[in-house]
Chain A
Amino acid sequence: MDITSLGALSALDIPDSERASMEKAVERIFGFIEGMRSADVLRVIHGDDNESWELRPDTPVMQDDMTAQALRAQAYARHDGLIPVSALRSTR
């Protein structure tokens, strides 16, 4: 996990003195959410063909008020020249 690049994308400055502990914590969290990529979750979401990341046609993504599209639109709307453009570009 490259904390430095994540910090740049998030407009956060991670001082050298904090980098090791922050890196450890973020890695712990990624270890925790790794279940999202477990075989049983993939089977539920994608069917038996785990090669494809395309969603099964019968598994609708919840179209709530803040789905990914809305989040992206929100991020772009806030773009005022201060948030690094690279951060917005990387947020698909």
Chain B
Amino acid sequence: MDYSRLTLATLRAYLTSGEVLYPEFVDAWREWVAQADVDVNAYTAQFDIVPPVARITEHESLLTGAPLAIKDNICMKEGPTTASSALLQHVPSVYDATVVSKLRAHHPLFIGKTNMDEFAMGSSTETSALHPTHNPCDTARVPGGSSGGSAAAVASGSALGALGSDTGGSIRQPAALCGVVGLKPTYGRVSRYGLIAMASSLDCIGPLAKNVADARTLYNVIAGQDPRDATTSCISHASSCIRPQTLARLRRDVRTLIVGIPRALATQLHGANKAWYERLITDMEQHGVRCVEVDIPHLDKTLETYYVIMPAEVSSNMARYDGVQYRSAQAIQPIAQYRSALLGEEVRRRILVGTSVLSRGYYESYYGTALAMRTVVRQEFTQAFTEVDVIMTPTSPTPAWKRGEKMDDPITMYLSDVFTVSANIAGIPALSIPYGSIESLPMGVQLMADMYHEDVLFDFGAWIESIAPSP
């Protein structure tokens, strides 16, 4: 059995075929993980837990017995939740996040916690205080971030699915760079109880998987209202929110959906990357999909808006790490020294910028303006979705870059989020699907839809997946 090619459906077929008993499979899988992860280092911790399942039957959930990984900023009772920070390295988790409880009810095989940028602040998993993670497609390159460990675990085959968190593209960008599928759900669709907060008006938990069907299976389990998270939506059936005209086209044929192309964003692409995007649009049109230019006038301001709102919320959320509530052995020292010793450079940078934009004199000109700009962009997206069903962009302006290449200049790194932050600013869902490659490195196409239109993304994404060229 080639474990690297398994999906949830093929694993189920294998486990119910009678070829192998489940406990034997678990032992063999652990050996496979050691082999698959040796040059990747996707995990911060691995577990030795066997789900209480003797044999898998066809009647059980697809997730039963399936190897899954969890980003290390989502709490699990099995050990510390480090957020890949030295500050939390020895702080044990005392409860499960709601998303973990929901998955646990299906008895999956939790492989471990995955590496990430420290406190999810970064786009390459290089700011992890624990160790770097390498891209399985080319280990000299980064896996993207901040959910780089989750994407690398799925891409290397050591997990069939994983959970990540997405504040400005942290699920979709690593998914694209590693050649897997990643979903950022509608804001409020998935509980964040047990997620270490970064920027609370932007954070979302979502799935990464090898294909769209598996991402959908994971999403359907973790989505829904949670009394422990007041920001979760009370909508029980998101499909009832789909716009009637979109639903009609979806039921007729996914190829009748109208795809919006925000041409202004194409100016961010050059050379081979630009040619890749143009070919993507041509491919869609050749398959009969109607691609139309869509106008979101202030889309080009979303990155700046994001880099004001996000650090402002970071500076507030990080105030809780004062050395008292989340204590380490080094905590008995002045608070500023403790924080400076244990927080990485990027985290400290964002705290400083966030404190500054919330300060008297800067508040109105930066933070207040960014909040208003966010409303404007959100209204522009709502207007755009009266004309098109989905908006299609690249997920990342480039394929995976070499390790260390962008670490010297924060702005170069921030620009890699240029296509993804708008979905977080607007609160809408977005799905990244692998589509072809540039110089043998995977590229991802991003689909965005109106709030609660995840089913539209899954249906259209599955169709794109079926026509996508091999990486």
Q: Which residues of A contact B (CB under 8 A)?
A: 1, 3, 6-15, 22, 25-26, 28-37, 41-42, 44-45, 53, 55, 59-62, 64-68, 71, 74-75, 78, 80, 82-83, 87, 90-92
Contacts and interface: CB of A to CB of B under 8 A. Distances in A.
A92 B187 CA distance: 26
26 contacts: A9-B355, A9-B359, A11-B335, A12-B352, A13-B340, A22-B352, A26-B349, A26-B356, A28-B411, A29-B349, A29-B410, A36-B305, A36-B365, A36-B370, A37-B366, A37-B369, A41-B369, A42-B369, A64-B427, A66-B201, A75-B316, A80-B324, A83-B319, A87-B355, A91-B355, A92-B358
A53 B414 CA distance: 28
Given A28-B410, A28-B411, A62-B378, A45 B322 contact: no
A61 B375 contact: yes
B340 A32 contact: no
A8 B359 CA distance: 13
Interface centre among B231, B316, B359, B364 (most CB of A within 10 A): B316
Contacts of A55: 368, 372
A82 B367 CA distance: 25
Contacts of B301: 35-36, 41
Nearest to B315: A10
Nearest to B374: A62
Contacts of B320: 78
Nearest to B426: A62
A62 B304 contact: no
Contact of A35 (B304, B374, B414): B304
Nearest to A61: B371
Interface string B335-368: 1110110010100110111111111100111111
Contacts of B351: 10, 12
B378 A29 contact: no
Contacts of B308: 33, 36
A9 to B, nearest CB: 5
Given A13-B336, A65-B230, A36 B369 contact: yes
A53 B364 contact: yes
Contacts, number: 157
B256 interface: no
A22 B373 contact: no
B358 to A, nearest CB: 5
B313 A32 contact: no
Identify whether the interface residues of A are mostly helix, strand, loop, or mixed. helix
Given A11-B336, A32-B414, A82-B324, A67 B307 contact: no
Interface residues of B, number: 60
Contact of A26 (B313, B353, B367): B353
Nearest to B372: A45
B298 A44 contact: yes
Contact of A59 (B334, B370, B376): B376
Contact of A68 (B355, B367, B375): B367
Contacts of A64: 187, 201, 427
Contacts of A8: 336
Contact of A7 (B322, B334, B336): B336
A89 B352 CA distance: 16
B312 interface: yes
Contacts of A42: 369
A30 B26 CA distance: 51
Contact of B375 (A14, A29, A60): A60
B253 interface: no
B336 A59 contact: no
Interface in B112-136: none
B200 interface: yes
Nearest to B349: A25
A66 B313 contact: yes
B317 to A, nearest CB: 8
B409 interface: yes
Contacts of B409: 28
Interface centre among B353, B354, B367, B411 (most CB of A within 10 A): B353
Nearest to B306: A33
Contacts of B363: 68, 92
Contacts of B360: 90, 92
A65 B355 CA distance: 20
A12 B340 CA distance: 6
B336 A12 contact: yes
A32 B372 contact: no
A85 B364 CA distance: 21
A89 B410 CA distance: 29
Contacts of B335: 11, 82-83
Given A66-B201, A91-B358, A32 B349 contact: no
